Chains A and B, each alone.
Chain A
Amino acid sequence: ETGVTQTPRHLVMGMTNKKSLKCEQHLGHNAMYWYKQSAKKPLELMFVYSLEERVENNSVPSRFSPECPNSSHLFLHLHTLQPEDSALYLCASSPGTGTSAHNEQFFGPGTRLTVL
């Protein structure tokens, strides 16, 4: 248990569906992240939020839309996805400020997404 939870753990959706992934961290951290993990590729950073403000958007297609209503919760809204978007989507959080450990990221278990 890392203190970061994600729901759902598995999701199958059609290309015309709209769904949302949820992440919650119980660590009191200030920064939260979305990553995409595909087979045989390094983790791809998608979005970074610091103190609920988006500070990074790594050229992610607009069919992925993040939302951070407070420092403990992060959502990824999905619509009109493509089959190549099938992957494990990981949420992480880090302290975000202050000590040298500010960028130690703690990951949730991920949502395994399959787009048909």
Chain B
Amino acid sequence: GQQLNQSPQSMFIQEGEDVSMNCTSSSIFNTWLWYKQEPGEGPVLLIALYKAGELTSNGRLTAQFGITRKDSFLNISASIPSDVGIYFCAGQLGDDYGGSQGNLIFGKGTKLSVKP
């Protein structure tokens, strides 16, 4: 089936650093969502993107819908310890009419940990 390649798989952050992660696909997506999951909890929706080129912020988080519609990026500025967790991208494929089709496809996640 369709896959999303999410990278990096894991990264260590030092407080105050900026963090970037991305998801790519060989297919065109019309919806990109970013989630964060903390231990013992379900994923929480952070940002939703619906248009190519769209840039949306949620506090220190900024996500972009890639112009090719095959990728999306999430940036976290000035990271703090509570940013640790697993970040997932999810996308919905585009249909022939500019809409979306099918169920969400999830990446494998990027695990953010604090630098020891």
Contact = CB atoms under 8 A, between A and B. Distances in A.
B42 A107 contact: yes
A110 B42 contact: yes
A1 to B, nearest CB: 10
Interface in A42-97: 42-43, 45, 48, 56, 90, 92
A107 B106 CA distance: 13
Interface string B94-116: 00000010011111110000000
Nearest to B109: A42
B103 A90 contact: no
B107 A42 contact: yes
A103 B31 contact: yes
A40 B104 contact: no
Interface in B31-63: 31, 33, 35, 40-45, 48, 50
Nearest to B41: A109
B88 interface: yes
Size range of the interface on B? 20 to 34
A42 B45 contact: no
B92 interface: yes
B33 A104 contact: yes
B29 to A, nearest CB: 12
Nearest to A94: B104
Interface of B: 3-4, 31, 33, 35, 40-45, 48, 50, 88, 90, 92, 100, 103-109
Interface of A: 2, 4, 6, 33, 40-43, 45, 48, 56, 90, 92, 100-101, 103-110, 112
9 contacts: A41-B108, A42-B3, A90-B42, A103-B31, A105-B90, A105-B104, A107-B35, A108-B42, A112-B40
